[in-house]
A and B are shown apart, each in its own frame.
Chain A
Amino acid sequence: MLDKQGIAKRIAKEIKDGYYVNLGIGIPTLVANYIPDTMDVVLQSENGLLGMGPFPFEGEEDPDTINAGKQTITMLPGSAIFDSAMSFGMIRAKKVNLTILGAMEVSENGDIANWKIPGKMVKGMGGAMDLVASAENIIVAMQHVNKAGESKLLPQCTLPLTGVRCVKKIVTELGVFDVLPEGCFKLLERAPGVSVEEIKQATAGKLIIEGDVPEISLIY
């Protein structure tokens, strides 16, 4: 089984040289730590920054320089700052090549829910609805089951939707899945030590398994 760092490491392998990438809050933020130095990748933070760098050294944090998760960050050489309208303009115009975000539920047709639990939790959608409505390449990083042990890969989402038919790939602690246009999850890789049977048990939506499913490799 993968831990959060493992999920982030696996997702990092999806990033290609020359990509502009938007990383959501939570596990997606960790992906930045695993992008190889040899790759030319620019991170977009939707509060208005291209070129996000690592956290600052203690004592060098700047309250004016934060990411979309409101964490203090640094800017790399070649960074650019812009306002919130332009930030979502470049997202809508599909200039951002890859969006990685978390989810509470994903359905077998690629719908995603990640912003509201009616009556319990209302945090808001932030930029997630804009991102999933426009991005062509969306990877979800999440736990396979919720705290109650219920599958988060479902025939249909039960929570209010963030977007429809948009998720292309999912990485969980159990495996890597494509979301196929015909409406099903396809198991591509399984986490080390996890059997296909375990993944079947934890997946409520339609799951396609073809031939021998390889183990996830975290080595580049």
Chain B
Amino acid sequence: MNKVVSGADEAIRDITDGATLMLGGFGLCGLPENCIAALVKKGVKQLTCISNNAGVDDFGIGLMLKQRQVKKMISSYVGENAEFERQLLSGELEVELIPQGTLATRCMAAGYGMPAIFTPAGIGTEVAEGKEVRNFNGKDYLMELAFDADFAIVKAWKGDTMGNLVYRSTARNFNPVMAMAGKVTIAEVEELVEPGQLDPDHIHTPGIYVHRIFKGVNYEKRIEHKTVRSRTE
């Protein structure tokens, strides 16, 4: 069960124009930086990207937007990206904005083999338009479908050659639920170890969900908003 590939280029080798991708991360935290760079280099186009955010103008998915590689974004919050907003308002980019919890849970449903979920988020708003509403115990819920993604691309802190993954701090975010949800899941990790070196009790994503894994290089881990307090406080 060795899932190791040489690097990002090999990991994304069969991602072609028109593919639907899930990309882990929240803001710029826990992004699969190596795979994004490889996708930018490869220049695949007409992509549908499912990701909570769209990066900033010069980092994360923002790099792919700049090159017009993205046909459609499915996200919950895109406020940090001027180029994104420009493409959206001019109609060049198709965007589906959905509640963050709905986004996460539609990933989870895919990974759990459930076709749909029911959530109250969006009831009475434009998010509910055209969707089935069911009432349970006196409260309305929207039926939201599990995602169907060709590839899920995630970033973990540590992984073993069998694809077992461990995340670090809030860089976990969407990565575990997306890792479960791809037809093909690609994981890039900061540390790649041998089977047995990760405690089975501490695995966040079991390797069965992961198809390819590689040790990433040169992580920038850019901070979006650096906030600090002074030591005199």
In the complex, whether B227 has a CB less than 8 A from a CB of chain A is yes
Bound-state Cα–Cα, A63 to B173, Å? 13
The answer to whether A64 touches B78, judged by C-beta atoms less than 8 angstroms apart, is no
Bound-state Cα–Cα, A139 to B27, Å? 26
Closest to B99 in A: A129
Residues of A within 8 A of B176 (CB): 83, 85
The answer to whether B177 touches A84, judged by C-beta atoms less than 8 angstroms apart, is yes
The answer to whether A83 touches B173, judged by C-beta atoms less than 8 angstroms apart, is yes
The answer to whether A125 touches B99, judged by C-beta atoms less than 8 angstroms apart, is yes
The answer to whether B169 touches A62, judged by C-beta atoms less than 8 angstroms apart, is yes
Bound-state Cα–Cα, A48 to B89, Å? 31
Bound-state Cα–Cα, A60 to B230, Å? 11
Q: Which residue in B78, B98, B124, B231 is a CB contact (below 8 Å) of A57?
A: B231
Instruction: Tell me what chain A mostly uses at the interface: helix, strand, loop, or mixed.
Output: loop
Chain A 191-213 against B: per-residue CB contact (8 Å), 1 yes, 0 no?
A: 00000000000000000000000
Bound-state Cα–Cα, A129 to B101, Å? 8
Chain B 80-97 against A: per-residue CB contact (8 Å), 1 yes, 0 no?
A: 100001001100000101
In the complex, whether B161 has a CB less than 8 A from a CB of chain A is no
Interface size of B in residues (CB-CB distance below 8 Å) = 60
Closest to B179 in A: A83
Residues of A within 8 A of B30 (CB): 64
CB distance from B50 to the nearest CB of A (A): 12
Q: Which residue in A47, A56, A124, A130 is a CB contact (below 8 Å) of B29?
A: A47
Bound-state Cα–Cα, A122 to B77, Å? 9
Residues of B within 8 A of A160 (CB): 125-126
Q: A48-B173, A70-B29, A134-B121 are in contact. Are A54 and B105 (CB under 8 A)?
A: no
Tell me which of B5-13, B37-45, B216-224 binds A.
B216-224
CB distance from A93 to the nearest CB of B (A): 11
The answer to whether B222 touches A130, judged by C-beta atoms less than 8 angstroms apart, is no
In the complex, whether A163 has a CB less than 8 A from a CB of chain B is yes
The answer to whether B226 touches A61, judged by C-beta atoms less than 8 angstroms apart, is yes
CB distance from A145 to the nearest CB of B (A): 23
Closest to B112 in A: A85
The answer to whether A81 touches B97, judged by C-beta atoms less than 8 angstroms apart, is no
Of B80, B103, B170, most buried by chain A (CB within 10 Å of CB) is B170
In the complex, whether B123 has a CB less than 8 A from a CB of chain A is yes
In the complex, whether A36 has a CB less than 8 A from a CB of chain B is no
Q: Please report which residues of chain B, range 120-174, place their CB below 8 angstroms from some CB of chain A when the two chains form the complex.
A: 120-127, 157, 167-174
Bound-state Cα–Cα, A57 to B171, Å? 20
In the complex, whether A78 has a CB less than 8 A from a CB of chain B is no
The answer to whether B225 touches A164, judged by C-beta atoms less than 8 angstroms apart, is no
In the complex, whether B28 has a CB less than 8 A from a CB of chain A is yes
Residues of B within 8 A of A62 (CB): 169
In the complex, whether B107 has a CB less than 8 A from a CB of chain A is yes
In the complex, whether B76 has a CB less than 8 A from a CB of chain A is yes
CB distance from A122 to the nearest CB of B (A): 6
Q: A66-B170, A70-B225, A83-B104 are in contact. Are A133 and B28 (CB under 8 A)?
A: no
Interface pairs (15), CB distance under 8 Å: A55-B228, A64-B29, A70-B26, A70-B80, A72-B223, A84-B26, A84-B103, A88-B104, A122-B88, A125-B77, A126-B77, A130-B119, A161-B124, A163-B123, A164-B124
> 7 other contacts beyond A84-B100, A129-B122, A162-B125, with CB at 8 A cut-off?
A58-B231, A63-B221, A72-B227, A75-B169, A84-B177, A130-B100, A160-B126
**Shortest 10 CB-CB distances between A and B: which pairs?**
A88-B101, A123-B79, A130-B101, A164-B124, A84-B104, A133-B120, A126-B77, A129-B99, A63-B221, A70-B27
